[in-house]
């Protein structure tokens, strides 16, 4: 029996924090060595944090990187465990996304990433050079170990080219961002590659939030019989151990059936982790939210309380004469349920002051969205002042549906340093609230259920910027709007194709026009966590200025 023992690192690194990243690695590596592990494996570009972006263009960054690379090499002296390190390596004016195999103070082997992704959030051709395909491997205990990096495993052409090479084990270092249903996609991919290679595959993934990206961890190993023999935790740190005989076929699952198929549980966990890490890694201990009495600000408040504790969350209700008593009472009840402090700051006198200030210039022009947007901008100014004074990160509460069609006020309700629901459609907001009312997250500070009242959930959406205003006055019902938005944005379908699916052509064109003319708003919006394949920050890039006349098609 030939057992290979692995230590799989899932630690929450920070881009550029080489010192503390090294300390994380050191502690976990020493633990792995003490437990007689054969391999200690980090994710892709783990030492720098992922993605390092244009730090990779700086000489001083590489100088510091080399210092900590040497510290890791020094750390392995006298140790039996092999350190598998993901990091960028410079060679003859070229930069590679690399894997170093280090043992007893020596670099035994270097593998470089073959396939450089250049789509969506990935921009690796800006920084890295690819390497030539060759039959290289690391020989250990008479076994051939092949090391790949993330996209290498996903590229069919590359896999086809190396499928004739013989290996005993494939290990893949990844920085694979979270998306809805991504884990089942990864597992399906790994099993399909095992069909070709007939060897076990270990998939090591990153954990943590990094700006708009969330890495969900969930590292796993599948044996040559396509049975999952190791499953790391999702959305949590770990440095777990497991053993496998690469030459032996497992007869049964060695881990419980992977429970990672509840889409809304996963989205909720991703949002909590994204917010918690964005706050912590950017030195914010507290956050604040403009509370409206509606479902979006309620969900943002609950996620914030789950992420950093209710005592570190502040809410502000800023009513005008158009704000209903129900909204006020629902906001008070929400704050009581969640345990955060709510301040009520009436702004009607400020609204009137602005009306008086501008009345001479506006003259007899009819009241329109200008006056409505002023209310939102008054709120934005007050909230940003409070954010500045008390060093609390203001959360923008707009959802993907609103941002898609521009149903938001730039410099008003779009104010904030982090847009938590930026990639979450309105219909998904309801489902997330429903899930959270029945469950609590593994990351939750609040171990309670039923925290958002049915009154808030059932309330008809309204911006409350004029009398009797409803979202449905300006937009189709969200269940229809979101379906069309998904097809236009996430699927990139044509107007004609969506019309053939049974939707009204005029409605589709009207929605498309709103999407196009709102591009300037999204360009200026705060970043927010990516949870879909088509988020607004990097995945979808449209010009602000354009004259594409869709109705002619």
Catalytic option among 113, 422, 426, 521: 113
Per the CB < 8 A criterion, the answer to whether 301 and 338 are in contact is yes
Architecture of domain 4-261: 4-Layer Sandwich (3.60)
Catalytic option among 37, 44, 221, 372: 44
> If you average pLDDT over residues 367-393, what whole number do you get?
95
Distance CA 184, CA 168 (A): 24
pLDDT band per the 50, 70, 90 thresholds, residue 322: very high
Catalytic option among 79, 103, 150, 265: 150
- For the question of residue 44 being annotated catalytic, the response is yes
Per-residue exposure over 264-302, b if at least 16 CB sit within 10 Å of its own CB, e if not: bbbbbbbbbbbbbbbbbbeebebbbbbbbbbbbbbbbbb
In the chain, how long is the greatest CA-to-CA distance?
Answer: 89
Q: Judge whether residue 247 has pLDDT over 90.
A: no
Tokens 């023992």 belong to 5
* Residue 257: predicted pLDDT: 56
What is the reported pTM?
A: 0.94
Q: What tokens appear for 548 in the block? A: 């594409």
Distance CA 388, CA 378 (A): 16
> CATH 3.40.50.620 in the chain, residues?
265-471
Tokens 């996620």 belong to 303
For 27-136, where are the E strands, in sequence order?
39-41, 82-91, 94-103, 106-112
* Residue 551: predicted pLDDT: 57
Q: 433-453, pLDDT tens digit by residue?
A: 999 999 999 999 999 999 999
DSSP string, 331-374: HHHHHHHHT-EEEE---HHHHHHHHHHHHHHHTTPPP-HHHHHH
Per-residue exposure over 225-241, b if at least 16 CB sit within 10 Å of its own CB, e if not: eebbbbbbebbbebbeb
Q: What tokens appear for 15 in the block? A: 């881009």
- For the question of residue 251 being annotated catalytic, the response is no
DSSP state for residue 221 in the 8-state scheme: E
- For the question of residue 113 being annotated catalytic, the response is yes
Rounded to the nearest 5 percent, the helix, strand and coil shares of the chain are 40, 20, 40
Distance CA 196, CA 212 (A): 35
- Residues constituting the chain: 553
Give the β-pairing of 169-173 and 143-149.
Answer: parallel
Q: 284-307, pLDDT tens digit by residue?
A: 999 999 999 999 999 999 999 999
**Which sign does the torsion angle of CA 202, 203, 207, 210 carry?**
positive
Q: Judge whether residue 463 has pLDDT over 80.
A: no
Fold of the domain built from segment(s) 265-471: Rossmann fold (3.40.50)
Q: Judge whether residue 363 has pLDDT over 60.
A: yes
Residue in 482, 487, 488, 463 with CA at minimum distance from that of residue 474: 463
436-440: Cβ within 8 A, 24+ apart: 436/268, 436/299, 436/302, 439/265, 440/306
Output the CA angle 180-211-515, nearest 5 degrees.
65
pLDDT band per the 50, 70, 90 thresholds, residue 259: low
Q: Judge whether residue 553 has pLDDT over 60.
A: no
Per the CB < 8 A criterion, the answer to whether 173 and 148 are in contact is yes
> CATH 3.60.110.10 in the chain, residues?
4-261
* Residue 261: predicted pLDDT: 66
CB neighbourhood size of 462 (10 A): 20
Residue in 266, 20, 44, 67 with CA at minimum distance from that of residue 150: 44
* Residue 252: predicted pLDDT: 59
pLDDT band per the 50, 70, 90 thresholds, residue 33: very high
Query: Which residues are 215's β-sheet partners?
Result: 177, 208
Tokens 């004469």 belong to 321
């Amino acid at each position: 029996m030939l057992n290979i023992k692995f230590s799989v690192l899932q630690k929450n690194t920070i881009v550029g924090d080489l010192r503390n990243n090294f300390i994380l690695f050191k502690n976990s590596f020493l633990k792995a060595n003490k437990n007689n592990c054969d391999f200690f494996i980090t994710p892709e570009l783990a030492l720098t944090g992922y993605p390092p972006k244009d730090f990779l263009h700086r000489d001083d960054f590489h100088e510091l990187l080399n210092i900590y690379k040497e510290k890791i090499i020094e750390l392995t002296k006298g140790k039996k465990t092999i350190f598998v390190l993901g990091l960028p390596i410079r060679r003859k004016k070229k930069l590679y996304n690399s894997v170093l195999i280090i043992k007893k103070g020596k670099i035994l082997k270097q593998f470089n990433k073959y396939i450089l992704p250049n789509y969506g959030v990935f921009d690796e051709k800006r920084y890295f050079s690819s390497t030539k395909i060759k039959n290289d491997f690391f020989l250990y205990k008479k076994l051939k170990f092949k090391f790949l990096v993330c996209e290498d495993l996903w590229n069919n052409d590359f896999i086809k080219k190396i499928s004739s090479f013989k290996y005993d084990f494939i290990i893949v270092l990844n920085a694979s961002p979270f998306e809805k249903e991504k884990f089942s996609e990864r597992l399906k991919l790994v099993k399909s590659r095992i069909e070709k290679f007939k060897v076990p595959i270990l998939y090591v993934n990153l954990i943590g939030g990094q700006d708009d990206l969330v890495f969900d961890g969930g590292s796993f190993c599948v044996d040559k019989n396509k049975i999952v023999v190791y499953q790391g935790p999702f959305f949590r740190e770990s440095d777990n151990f497991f053993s496998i005989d690469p030459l032996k076929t497992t007869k049964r699952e060695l881990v419980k059936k992977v429970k990672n198929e509840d889409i809304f549980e996963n989205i909720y966990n991703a949002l909590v982790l994204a917010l918690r890490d964005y706050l912590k890694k950017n030195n914010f201990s507290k956050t604040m939210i403009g509370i409206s009495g509606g479902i979006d600000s309620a969900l943002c408040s609950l996620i914030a309380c789950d992420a950093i504790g209710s005592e570190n969350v502040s809410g502000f209700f800023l009513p005008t004469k158009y704000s209903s008593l129900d909204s006020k009472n629902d906001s008070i009840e929400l704050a009581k349920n969640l345990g955060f402090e709510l301040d009520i700051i009436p702004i009607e006198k400020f609204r009137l002051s602005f009306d008086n200030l501008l009345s001479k210039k506006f003259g007899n022009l009819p009241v329109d969205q200008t006056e409505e947007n002023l209310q939102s901008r008054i709120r934005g100014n007050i909230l940003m002042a409070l954010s500045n004074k008390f060093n609390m990160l203001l959360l923008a509460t707009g959802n993907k549906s609103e941002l898609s069609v521009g149903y938001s006020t730039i410099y008003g309700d779009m104010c904030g340093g982090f847009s938590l629901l930026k990639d979450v459609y309105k219909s998904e907001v309801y489902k997330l609230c429903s899930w959270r009312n029945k469950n609590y997250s593994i990351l939750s500070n609040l171990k309670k259920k039923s925290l958002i009242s049915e009154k808030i959930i059932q309330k008809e959406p309204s911006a409350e910027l004029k009398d009797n205003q409803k979202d449905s006055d300006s937009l189709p019902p969200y269940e229809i709007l979101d379906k069309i938005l998904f097809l236009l944005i996430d699927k990139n379908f044509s107007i004609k194709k969506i019309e053939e699916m049974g939707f009204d052509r005029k409605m589709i064109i009207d929605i498309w026009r709103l999407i196009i003319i709102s591009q300037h708003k999204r360009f200026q919006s705060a970043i927010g966590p990516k949870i879909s394949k088509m988020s607004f920050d990097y995945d979808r890039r449209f010009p602000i200025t354009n004259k594409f006349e869709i109705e002619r098609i």
